[in-house]
């Protein structure tokens, strides 16, 4: 909000009061922290040879983006009146000219001297003064260039800063009338001519305070009803109105396209459409403030008979037109129905300012004087227009908050629905996974019994003397026995995996030798490695004093056996597999390195998935169910450990396992 520049004045002041006003202006530079301020006094001319007219004046200049002002004092003789003007130019007050082409010598100022003082906030006057001031300096000087930059800055002052200065200004001017001019000789008795200026300044201060209060209320409150009710009550009291109301259109919008459609239609069609649109866009009074209860209330009133579709008037309102009617008896003398309506409503003078929201005519802010005609001044019209603009901001703020609240509630509802759906899906997935694990565990147990008989009977028959079985029969029995052993291994893996997923697996913690389990693993797979012409080696990097470890020894052997057998299976003839073992801190680290076929990088995420074979089912060259590595990972995580894989196709793979030392207890 910008302040009016028309707050200038000119008057005779004692030198001490003039100096105090100069100090007051200099203080204003600290009230505008957002931008640097230029503050100059007549002292800037002390180092140059200036013209005599500059030597006969004192001045204080403040220039910033938020507040600019100029105070000039001239030594004048026989000045005995106060000029209450708007300070249109500086020829009279800022730059004394030569009288009769004779230069007057500078007269030193005494403490009881007086100055013809002029104060202005007019940006053009300030810019003109700066322009004349800079011409006193050389064009290539820093001072000239500095002043040149500040020439473009002066603009309308910030209302808040203007109000602060005006309050302080009154503290100096009001006592001056009693202290200085009363004590002076009779030549200054007519100083009361300045009273209108003081009254205008005081009213300007109150008006700025009111606008600031409304703006503050809008910023602090999100309740549109509170903002509307508070604003019209304060404005009614300030303007001493009999009644102030807010008229809102039912649809809160009157669009330009309705006007265009009326103008383009024929007369008959225009009349019909106008009536229909008028019925659609009627409104009513939604807020009201009255001076006394004796004034009739028009709250919620909606006129149904007298109003004719005023589309042209609506378009003017939409463009910012403010309607001022000093006397309805004269303005509406030809509109008998409307005049009677205004008489019944006790309206003698009215002032209507549009409330425009998003380029739509939301409503009207209407001021009424009920008993006598009233000439609406420019300041009253400006104030009501400013209040209407602030109310439009409040409406926008309220609508934005309502929209955000609705969107937030909709989003929260969607999030709740989605969360519930995900929770239900998760519960269903967990139930299905649990049922699957229980089913696998049950089936595995049911398969173990007959499989045990198959393995046992075939093993017994293989121990018979050679003469009782032919070689062919013995080969068949060996195939049955080996297939049973393989099936038993697969069922045990599935059973272990299902138990872990069902949460039924436990770790039987005991103390053992890491070297022993590594050696047993190598010995158990050495025959298989030799049969495939693969070199299987053990690389122990562990000190004897770090050999003892606590964990589930059977699970740990199962981890090493799965990783080592898997490495042998995928390593071609002539390759090698190395099992390394070392200890870091409280972690036993096992590493299985092979020179096998390697794993493509895009297939690494599938490596530990259940029932996954990385070679295609149509070109499968390696046996297996895809359970071994998945079970291995589960057993490692059951120990709260981790596993990492590094692999390069056609070069080999490295599996590294970290197993932390377990406490001596049974961990589930």
Span 97-109, pLDDT tens digits = 333 332 333 344 5
Q: Is the predicted pLDDT of residue 511 greater than 70, yes or no?
A: yes
Reply yes or no on whether the pLDDT at 480 is more than 80: yes
Confidence of residue 267 (pLDDT cuts 50, 70, 90): very low
pLDDT in tens, 79-90: 333 333 333 444
Q: Any alpha helices (H) in 221-371, and if so which ranges?
A: 224-239, 256-264, 267-280, 311-318, 328-331, 336-344
Among the ranges given (120-134, 155-169, 605-619, 622-636), the one the predictor scored with the smallest mean pLDDT? 605-619
Please tell me which of 169-178, 189-198, 295-304 the model is most confident about, judged by mean pLDDT. Answer: 295-304
Q: Is the pLDDT of residue 76 over 70?
A: no
pLDDT of res. 642 = 95
Note the pLDDT of residue 261: 34
C-alpha–C-alpha distance, residues 536 and 534, integer Å = 6
Looking at residue 137, its pLDDT comes to 79
SS3 172: helix
In angstroms, rounded to a whole number, what is the distance separating the alpha carbons of residues 128 and 91? 10
Residue 401, pLDDT > 70, answer: yes
As a whole number, mean pLDDT of residues 649-660 equals: 95
> How high is the pLDDT of residue 523?
93
Quickly state the pLDDT bin for 360 (edges 50, 70, 90).
confident
Of the two residues 165 and 655, the one the predictor is more confident about is 655
pLDDT for the residue 81: 32
DSSP letters for 481-544: HHHHHHHHHHHHHHHHHHHHHTT---B--EEEEHHHHHHHHHHHHHHHHHHTT-EEEEEE---G
pLDDT band (50, 70, 90) for residue 450: confident
| Coil, strand or helix at 4 | coil
The confidence score (pLDDT) of residue 545 equals 92
- The reported pLDDT for the residue numbered 26 is 79
- Output 278 or 172, whichever has higher pLDDT: 172
pLDDT at 583: 95
Given a cut of 60, is residue 494 above it in pLDDT? Answer: yes
Strands, sheet with 360-369, edge to edge from the N-terminal-most edge strand: 283-290, 243-249, 360-369, 349-357, 323-325
Q: Point out the least confidently predicted range of 40-44, 249-253, 597-601.
A: 249-253
* Residues 466-476 pLDDT 10s: 667 788 888 88
Least confident span in 140-149, 292-301, 382-391: 140-149
Question: What pLDDT, in 10s, does the model give residues 295-341?
Answer: 989 888 776 666 555 555 667 777 888 888 888 887 776 677 778 88
Task: Please report which confidence band the pLDDT of residue 436 belongs to, taking 50, 70 and 90 as the band edges.
Answer: confident
Provide the whole-model pTM. Answer: 0.40
**What's the count of helices (H) and strands (E) in the chain, helices before strands?**
17, 17
Q: Can you tell me the mean pLDDT for 14-31? A: 81
Most trustworthy range by pLDDT among 4-18, 68-82, 309-323, 543-557: 543-557
Residues of the chain above pLDDT 70, percent: 75
Task: Indicate the average pLDDT of the chain.
Answer: 77
Tell whether the model's pLDDT for residue 560 goes beyond 90.
Answer: yes
Please determine, for residue 514, whether its predicted confidence score (pLDDT) is greater than 90. yes
Task: Pick from 178-182, 228-232, 443-447 the range whose average pLDDT is largest.
Answer: 228-232
**Helix, strand, or coil here: 298?**
coil
pLDDT at 159 over 80: no
10 against 181, higher pLDDT: 10
Is residue 68 within 8 A of residue 38, CB to CB? The reply is: no
Residue 618 is given by DSSP the state: G
Is 192's pLDDT higher than 70? no
Over residues 387-407, mean pLDDT:
85
Query: Which of 22-36, 316-330, 352-366, 541-555 has the lowest average pLDDT?
Result: 22-36
Q: What pLDDT is recorded for position 50?
A: 60
Q: Is the pLDDT confidence value at 212 over 70?
A: yes
- For residues 551-563, average pLDDT: 93
Q: Is the dihedral of CA 263, 265, 267, 271 positive or negative?
A: negative
- Helix ranges (H only) for 82-194 are 123-134, 142-150, 159-176
pLDDT at residue number 309: 52
Between CA 53 and CA 20 the distance in angstroms is 23
Per-residue pLDDT, 379 = 83
Which tens digits make up the pLDDT trace of 521-547? 999 999 999 999 999 999 999 998 999
Residue 4 pLDDT: 43
The average pLDDT across 125-139 equals: 85
Pick from 61, 56, 274, 23: which is nearest to 153 by CA? Answer: 61
Rounded to 10 deg, the angle between the 311-318 and 256-264 helix axes is: 140
Q: Pick the range with the lowest mean pLDDT from 216-225, 292-301, 403-412, 611-620.
A: 611-620
Backbone angles phi, psi at 608, to 5 degrees: -105, 15
Reply yes or no on whether the pLDDT at 155 is more than 60.
Answer: yes
Percent over 90 (pLDDT), the chain: 22
Q: How far apart are alpha carbons 79 and 12 in whole angstroms?
A: 8
């Amino acid at each position: 909000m910008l302040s009016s520049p028309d707050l200038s004045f000119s008057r005779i002041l004692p030198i001490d009061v003039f100096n105090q006003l100069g100090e007051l202006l200099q203080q204003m530079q600290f009230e505008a922290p957002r931008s640097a301020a230029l503050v100059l006094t007549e002292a800037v001319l002390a180092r140059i040879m200036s013209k005599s007219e500059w030597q006969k004046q004192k001045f204080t200049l403040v220039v910033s983006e938020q507040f600019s002002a100029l105070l000039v004092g001239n030594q004048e003789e026989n000045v005995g009146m106060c000029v209450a003007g708007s300070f249109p130019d500086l020829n009279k007050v800022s730059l004394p000219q030569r009288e009769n082409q004779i230069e007057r010598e500078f007269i030193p100022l005494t403490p009881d001297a007086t100055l013809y003082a002029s104060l202005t906030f007019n940006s053009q006057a300030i810019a003109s003064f700066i322009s004349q001031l800079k011409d006193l300096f050389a064009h290539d000087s820093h001072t000239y260039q500095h002043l040149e930059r500040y020439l473009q800055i002066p603009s309308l002052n910030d209302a808040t800063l203007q109000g602060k200065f005006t309050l302080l200004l009154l503290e100096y001017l009001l006592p001056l009338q009693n202290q200085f001019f009363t004590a002076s000789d009779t030549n200054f008795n007519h100083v009361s001519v300045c009273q209108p200026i003081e009254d205008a300044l005081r009213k300007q201060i109150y008006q700025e305070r009111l606008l600031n209060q409304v703006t503050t209320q809008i910023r602090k409150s999100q309740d549109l009803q509170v903002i509307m009710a508070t604003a019209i009550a304060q404005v009614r009291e300030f303007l001493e109105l009999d009644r102030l109301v807010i008229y809102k259109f039912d649809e809160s919008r009157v669009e330009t396209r309705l006007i265009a459609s009326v103008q383009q239609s024929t007369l008959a069609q225009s009349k019909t459409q106008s009536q229909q649109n008028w019925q659609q866009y009627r409104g009513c009074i939604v807020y009201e403030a009255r001076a006394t209860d004796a004034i009739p209330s028009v709250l919620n009133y909606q006129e149904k008979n007298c109003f004719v579709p005023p589309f042209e008037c609506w378009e003017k309102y939409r463009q910012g037109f403010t309607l001022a009617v000093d006397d309805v008896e004269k303005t509406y003398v030809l509109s008998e129905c409307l005049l009677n309506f205004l008489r019944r409503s006790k309206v003698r003078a009215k002032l209507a300012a549009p409330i425009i929201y998003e380029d739509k005519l939301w409503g009207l802010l209407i001021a009424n004087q009920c008993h006598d005609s009233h000439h609406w001044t420019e300041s009253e019209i400006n104030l009501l227009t400013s209040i209407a603009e602030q109310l439009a901001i409040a409406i926008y703020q309220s609508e934005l908050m309502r929209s955000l609240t609705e969107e937030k509630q909709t989003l929260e509802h969607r999030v709740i629905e989605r969360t519930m759906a995900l929770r239900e899906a998760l519960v269903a997935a967990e139930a299905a996974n649990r049922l699957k694990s229980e089913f696998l565990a049950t089936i595995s147990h049911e398969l173990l019994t007959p499989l045990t008989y198959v393995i046992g009977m075939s093993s017994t028959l293989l121990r018979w003397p050679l003469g009782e079985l032919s070689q062919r029969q013995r080969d068949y029995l060996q195939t049955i026995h080996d297939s049973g052993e393989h099936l038993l291994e697969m069922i045990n893996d599935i059973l272990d995996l299902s138990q872990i997923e069902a949460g039924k697996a436990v770790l039987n913690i005991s103390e053992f030798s890491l070297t022993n389990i590594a050696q047993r693993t190598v010995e158990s797979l050495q025959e298989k490695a030799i049969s495939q012409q693969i070199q299987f080696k053990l690389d122990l990097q562990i000190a004897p004093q770090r050999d003892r470890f606590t964990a589930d020894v059977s699970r740990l052997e199962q981890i090493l056996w799965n990783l080592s057998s898997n490495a042998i299976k995928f390593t071609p003839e002539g390759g090698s597999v190395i099992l390394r073992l070392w200890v870091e801190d409280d972690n036993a680290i096992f590493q299985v390195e092979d020179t096998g076929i390697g794993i493509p990088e895009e297939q690494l995420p599938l490596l530990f998935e259940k029932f996954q074979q990385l070679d295609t089912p149509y070109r499968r060259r390696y046996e297996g169910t895809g359970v071994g590595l998945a079970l291995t990972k589960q057993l490692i995580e059951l120990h709260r450990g981790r596993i990492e894989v590094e692999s390069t196709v056609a070069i080999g793979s490295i599996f590294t396992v970290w197993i932390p030392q377990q406490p001596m207890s049974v961990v589930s």
